[in-house]
Amino acid sequence: MNKHFFSALLLVASFTAKAQQNVNYFYNQDVKFDTSIPTPKNVLGFEVGEWHVSHDKLVEYMKALAKTSNRVSLEIAGYTYEHRPILLLTITNPENHTNIENIKKEHLAIKTSTDDIANKPVVVWLGHSIHGNEASGSNASLLVAYYLAAAQGEAIEKMLTNTIILLDPSYNPDGLNRFASWVNSHKSKNLDPSSLSLEHNEAWPRARTNHYWFDLNRDWLPVQHPESQARVANFYKWQPNILTDQHEMSSNSTYFFQPGIPSRNNPLTPEKAFDLTRKIARYHAKAMDAIGSQYYSEESFDDYYPGKGSTFPDLNGSVGILFEQGSARGHLMGTENGSLSFKFAIRNQVTTSLSTLEAAQELRGELLTYQNEFFAKAKELASNDVIKGYVFAGKGDLNKTNSFLQVLARHKIEVEKLTDNYKPFSKDESYIVKLNQEQYRLTKAIFDKRTSFKDSLFYDVSAWTLPLAFGMQYQEVSAKELVKIKSESIGIIKREEKIAFEASEYGYLLSWTDYMAPAALNKIQKAGLRTKLTTHAFQLNGNKYAKGTIFIPVQNQSLSKDKIVEVMKFISSTYLVPVKGINSGDADGVKLGSPSFYNLKSPKIAVVGGDGVSSYEVGEVWHLLDYRMNIPMSLIAIDQLNSVDLSKFNTIIMVSGNYSKLKVDRISEFVKTGGLIIATKSAGKWLSKNEITTVTYVNNKIDSTQQRPYELMDRYKGAQVIGGAIFETKADLSNPLFYGYAATSIPVFRNSTIMMERNKNAYANPLMYTGSPLISGYISSINIKKLANTAAVQIDKAGRGTVITFTDNPNFRAFWYGTNRMFLNAIFFGREVRIK
Ligand SMILES: [Zn+2]
């Protein structure tokens, strides 16, 4: 016991009695507590709700519970980008704790066995505040954890005997902390309910997201971030029967719990999951009635995209439940329904956490049986499905293939490696996922393409087909084809740690086919080495080299031969990219001294961020360059960009945003003097409007002169939204922007109605939407007609500079590996591209 902890215990004794009176507000009953367990106030120094809990204090309290209560154990499941611990508490009675590994094993066995199911404990995962600025969940978790650790009496004893509670106090520690810091530092002693106050209006980029500004409640399926990786790993270790996901919504709203809108459920989720959700909802309704709180269900929010915390569990034999509390934002908020205090918001969240546990008790047998049936049914579903599996390959891209296999491994999806060629898939780099496995439903969710829907409104994206996003070559396999494919089980794939490397006195060739090639090129350039891009394919020593291969000569560099060996060895072993040492420039096709090799410039990148710019899209660029590729860049706000010396940069990246304050002359001058601008989505519109580019946009206003039924107004408007779908484009692979791509057909993600007309210059449209471009997801019949055959990427030249305009976002949510490449190509090769 450390000194600090000892003094905490002394505090416990003196403050417990009073603190307990205050906490009873949150439980709507006089609970008798074990006085040896510290209340939240004992550790935090304030009542829950008086201040927003910072993440470190939240951790401190949970650690104190784990130390003092034999009902509670705590593990650190991982760390966030900002190195905050990701906690998971296991709460159950002390006997269960001594036998916890066995209980876990028996619980997992429910997937395949019906033995004594009804007597087994039910597993409930209580999760909080994945959106950092929806903090009532995490603050409620203090009180829920205290109650479970310290409450006395028969009811709680019984519940803890029959239940394993997994409590994750903060799904998004970095966001929660950012928010607590903001609202606490703007709080007045006399609480200000004005919605206009600084306390209630966070500064950019706000705290909904994690460190790189990703919405973690979209990452349960792609699992690209450390928070989701830790969480999803624990999910599969336990396979909970219920998982809760506590959020906040607009301040004028009351309280929502699922079920959501019935017509917008994911079709892969069994109907029984919604029946159970509805049954559980009755317990919430009763508990909320008892404290006089208002609530609703089934009228908003959907259960469609499995990247969300309430839908992902539904495809895993669990019941995911979304809760949305009207937000107090800071500590007190004036609303249409009167003043809404943070404490009140917290009390509602505590109430539904406890009603969830009550429901789990009473529905225990049904939940466990449902879980068994869910997995038992997989075989039958697979045998009724005309699709029997999916074969896929990464085409010379080891890193991308590994990342894709890693996603499947994280979801416990079994993969087999081909042992024989299956045209056009070569056995060396191809895999098959068969549908006849436990994870039938989730596998379908990952690989499925869907173009017909019950409803035309979506809360989030309507398509996410991961092999398309990763740009994998892939094919559905029928029963007839399946028998032709020879494969063997490989279990969970490990990254290959070594790749052949040979030192050279003459030069090195870096292949551009691998996803990490830009990271390698950047490292070589930053080491001060001259790099050359080949625009012609050639053969050397029997090896074929495609356009886009990077040549690094040894002669006349600023580093010695030995130092160059060190750099090349480093990039080969760190990034696992193919680098070949060569001893001659006498290639077939073109010689290595050919004028078709361009000297490449090392990018010096400014990414425009700050107020008015989409923090999501900036964050996606930041994560790609900084985190994945180790490419240095500066995040710069518009105000600064208007005044800094732009000659420090040769590349400016602009994503969706409002650029009305950006000085046109400076940007125009930057391009004319040789700068490169890469613009995505609405940033392209600003450049076009200010005549920095020649891009013209499709007029996509709908005919508003017709009379339409008032009651269908929202529905009609919603149906014209492209919330997120996948489309086919056709690339000119001879254009440097598409070096490294293996096929002309490239799936792209689109979540806006911004469409570019084709450029009059035939070389300025290197990527176009096809004539019938929808691959997966929802788009209205009006919009698909407009989108067909439009340009997806355009190139403009002005003075000595270049602008590359993307109509879409190639870096969506960190899992669009397939289109990351064209964005990175634009950074490294964009300035070399000619249009006449
Ligand atoms: Zn939320």
pLDDT at 114: 82
Q: How many angstroms separate the alpha carbon of residue 813 from the centre of ligand 1? A: 17
**715 pLDDT tier (thresholds 50, 70, 90):** confident
| pLDDT for 173 beyond 80 | yes
Q: How many angstroms separate the alpha carbon of residue 217 from the centre of ligand 1? A: 8
| pLDDT for 1 beyond 70 | no
Q: How many angstroms separate the alpha carbon of residue 258 from the centre of ligand 1? A: 14
Encoded tokens for 380: 């039958």
574-597 mean pLDDT:
94
Q: How many angstroms separate the alpha carbon of residue 238 from the centre of ligand 1? A: 24
Letter for the amino acid at 464?
A: W
Q: How many angstroms separate the alpha carbon of residue 248 from the centre of ligand 1? A: 5
The set of residues, in sequence order, having a beta carbon less than 8 Å from that of 99 and lying 6+ positions away, is none
Q: Measure the CA–CA gap between 168 and 151, rounded to whole angstroms.
A: 19
Q: How many angstroms separate the alpha carbon of residue 756 from the centre of ligand 1? A: 33
* CA 835 to chain CA mean position, Å: 36
Q: How many angstroms separate the alpha carbon of residue 159 from the centre of ligand 1? A: 29
Q: How many angstroms separate the alpha carbon of residue 214 from the centre of ligand 1? A: 13
Q: How many angstroms separate the alpha carbon of residue 305 from the centre of ligand 1? A: 14
Q: How many angstroms separate the alpha carbon of residue 327 from the centre of ligand 1? A: 10
Q: How many angstroms separate the alpha carbon of residue 131 from the centre of ligand 1? A: 5
pLDDT at 500: 79
Q: How many angstroms separate the alpha carbon of residue 274 from the centre of ligand 1? A: 21
List, for residues 464-476, the tens digit of each pLDDT value: 999 999 999 999 9
Q: How many angstroms separate the alpha carbon of residue 245 from the centre of ligand 1? A: 9
pLDDT at 343: 98
pLDDT at 701: 76
Following DSSP, what letter does each residue of 483-511 receive, concatenated? Answer: TT--EEE--S------------SSEEEE-
443-452 mean pLDDT:
92
Q: Measure the CA–CA gap between 384 and 434, rounded to whole angstroms.
A: 14
Cis before 94 (ω within 30): no
Q: State phi, psi for 795 to the nearest 5 degrees.
A: -115, 130
Q: How many angstroms separate the alpha carbon of residue 44 from the centre of ligand 1? A: 25
| pLDDT for 128 beyond 80 | yes
Pick the closest to residue 552 from 572, 571, 524, 574 (CA basis): 524
Q: How many angstroms separate the alpha carbon of residue 213 from the centre of ligand 1? A: 14
Q: How many angstroms separate the alpha carbon of residue 179 from the centre of ligand 1? A: 13
**13 pLDDT tier (thresholds 50, 70, 90):** very low
Q: State phi, psi for 670 to the nearest 5 degrees.
A: -60, -45
Q: How many angstroms separate the alpha carbon of residue 829 from the centre of ligand 1? A: 39
Q: How many angstroms separate the alpha carbon of residue 699 from the centre of ligand 1? A: 34
| pLDDT for 716 beyond 90 | no
Q: What percent of the chain has pLDDT over 90?
A: 87
List, for residues 36-62, the tens digit of each pLDDT value: 999 999 999 999 999 999 999 999 999
Strand 319-326 relative to strand 242-249, pairing: parallel
Q: How many angstroms separate the alpha carbon of residue 249 from the centre of ligand 1? A: 7
Q: How many angstroms separate the alpha carbon of residue 247 from the centre of ligand 1? A: 4
Nearest-10 Cα torsion for 223, 227, 232, 234: 160
Q: How many angstroms separate the alpha carbon of residue 176 from the centre of ligand 1? A: 12
Encoded tokens for 648: 């420090």
Return the higher-pLDDT residue of 836 and 421: 421
Please, what is the average pLDDT of the chain?
Answer: 94
Pick the closest to residue 649 from 622, 629, 669 (CA basis): 669
Q: How many angstroms separate the alpha carbon of residue 251 from the centre of ligand 1? A: 13
Q: How many angstroms separate the alpha carbon of residue 201 from the centre of ligand 1? A: 16
| pLDDT for 820 beyond 50 | yes
**492 pLDDT tier (thresholds 50, 70, 90):** low
**494 pLDDT tier (thresholds 50, 70, 90):** low
Q: Which helix (H) or strand (E) holds 191?
A: none
pLDDT at 498: 63
pLDDT at 491: 63
Q: Measure the CA–CA gap between 685 and 754, rounded to whole angstroms.
A: 9
Q: How many angstroms separate the alpha carbon of residue 133 from the centre of ligand 1? A: 8
pLDDT at 706: 81
Q: How many angstroms separate the alpha carbon of residue 487 from the centre of ligand 1? A: 43
Nearest-10 Cα torsion for 290, 132, 138, 218: 80
517-525 mean pLDDT:
98
Task: List CB-based neighbours of ion ligand 1 within 5 Å.
Answer: 131, 134, 247
Question: Helix, strand, or coil here: 467?
Answer: helix
Tell how many helices (H) and how many strands (E) occur in the chain: 25, 30
629-646 mean pLDDT:
96
Q: How many angstroms separate the alpha carbon of residue 241 from the centre of ligand 1? A: 22
CB of 314 within 8 A of CB of 269?
A: yes
Q: How many angstroms separate the alpha carbon of residue 296 from the centre of ligand 1? A: 16
**493 pLDDT tier (thresholds 50, 70, 90):** low
Q: How many angstroms separate the alpha carbon of residue 324 from the centre of ligand 1? A: 7
Q: How many CB atoms lie within 10 A of CB 715?
A: 13
715-743 mean pLDDT:
92
| pLDDT for 720 beyond 60 | yes
Q: How many angstroms separate the alpha carbon of residue 727 from the centre of ligand 1? A: 28
List, for residues 596-611, the tens digit of each pLDDT value: 999 999 999 999 999 9
List, for residues 321-350, the tens digit of each pLDDT value: 999 999 999 999 999 999 999 999 999 999
Q: How many angstroms separate the alpha carbon of residue 129 from the centre of ligand 1? A: 7
Q: How many angstroms separate the alpha carbon of residue 363 from the centre of ligand 1? A: 27
Q: How many angstroms separate the alpha carbon of residue 209 from the centre of ligand 1? A: 10
28-38 mean pLDDT:
93
Q: How many angstroms separate the alpha carbon of residue 208 from the centre of ligand 1? A: 8
Pick the closest to residue 544 from 534, 529, 554, 530 (CA basis): 534
Q: How many angstroms separate the alpha carbon of residue 256 from the centre of ligand 1? A: 12
List, for residues 70-107, the tens digit of each pLDDT value: 999 999 999 999 999 999 999 999 999 999 999 999 99
Q: Measure the CA–CA gap between 47 and 518, rounded to whole angstroms.
A: 51
Q: How many angstroms separate the alpha carbon of residue 42 from the centre of ligand 1? A: 30
| pLDDT for 14 beyond 50 | no
Question: Helix, strand, or coil here: 752?
Answer: coil
pLDDT at 17: 55
The set of residues, in sequence order, having a beta carbon less than 8 Å from that of 115 and lying 6+ positions away, is 109
Question: Which residues on adjacent β-strands are paired with residue 539?
Answer: 544, 588
Q: How many angstroms separate the alpha carbon of residue 168 from the centre of ligand 1? A: 16
Q: How many angstroms separate the alpha carbon of residue 692 from the centre of ligand 1? A: 38
568-579 mean pLDDT:
93
Encoded tokens for 223: 């699992």
Encoded tokens for 180: 């607590």
Place of tokens 């989505």: 681
pLDDT at 708: 86
Q: How many angstroms separate the alpha carbon of residue 234 from the centre of ligand 1? A: 22
Q: How many angstroms separate the alpha carbon of residue 329 from the centre of ligand 1? A: 12
CB of 172 within 8 A of CB of 210?
A: yes
Q: Measure the CA–CA gap between 758 and 83, rounded to whole angstroms.
A: 47
Pick the closest to residue 284 from 320, 256, 254 (CA basis): 256
For the chain, the first-to-last Cα distance in angstroms comes to 75
In the sheet that holds 579-582, the strands lie side by side as: 579-582, 507-510, 550-553, 532-534, 597-599
Q: Measure the CA–CA gap between 235 and 548, rounded to whole angstroms.
A: 42
Q: What value does the CA radius of gyration of the chain take, rounded to a whole number of Å?
A: 28
125-142 mean pLDDT:
98
**16 pLDDT tier (thresholds 50, 70, 90):** low
pLDDT at 836: 87
Q: How many angstroms separate the alpha carbon of residue 719 from the centre of ligand 1? A: 23
Pick the closest to residue 732 from 655, 797, 795 (CA basis): 795
Give the helix ranges, DSSP H, for 127-248. 136-150, 154-162, 173-185, 226-238
Q: How many angstroms separate the alpha carbon of residue 629 from the centre of ligand 1? A: 30
**118 pLDDT tier (thresholds 50, 70, 90):** confident
Q: Measure the CA–CA gap between 765 and 752, rounded to whole angstroms.
A: 20
Q: How many angstroms separate the alpha carbon of residue 216 from the centre of ligand 1? A: 10
Q: How many angstroms separate the alpha carbon of residue 396 from the centre of ligand 1? A: 40
Pick the closest to residue 738 from 767, 768, 758 (CA basis): 767
pLDDT at 639: 94
| pLDDT for 733 beyond 50 | yes
List, for residues 175-207, the tens digit of each pLDDT value: 999 999 999 999 999 999 999 999 999 999 999
Q: How many angstroms separate the alpha carbon of residue 347 from the centre of ligand 1? A: 18
